[in-house]
Amino acid sequence: MVKNYMEDVVDELLPEMLTAHSEVCSCNRCLADMKAYALNHLKPAYFVMHKGFLYGKVDEAKMKAKADVISAIEKAIKLVSKNPGH
C-alpha cells in the first residue's frame, strides 16, 4: 500500500493550530476545506506501507516538511475563515 505521509502530518498539526484560532469554524466541511487546501499546496511524500508500518525516512520527512506544512495550514485557516464553505 502506498500512502501520502503529508496527509498524516496535516491531520496531526491542523487541530493543534486551530486551538490558536478559536474564532474559526471547525465544522467537518471547513476542516475538510482547510485540509484539502493545505495538501494541494504541499509536495506529496509517498511511502510504502507494510503491515501498518511506513518504510522510508518518515521522521526525517516530517521534520523537513513541518515548516512547509505549518505555513500551508496557516494559509488554509485564513482563507477558509474568510470564505467558509458551509
**pLDDT per position as a tens digit, 4-55:** 889 989 999 999 999 999 899 999 999 999 999 999 999 998 877 766 555 5
Model confidence over 52-79: pLDDT tens digits? 555 555 566 666 778 899 999 999 999 9
Q: In which element (H, E) is residue 4 found? A: strand 2-4
Cα–Cα distance, 65 to 72 (Å, whole number): 10
Please, are residues 62 and 9 in contact by the beta-carbon 8 Å criterion? yes
Which three three-digit cell numbers place residue 49? Answer: 506501507
Model pTM score:
0.82
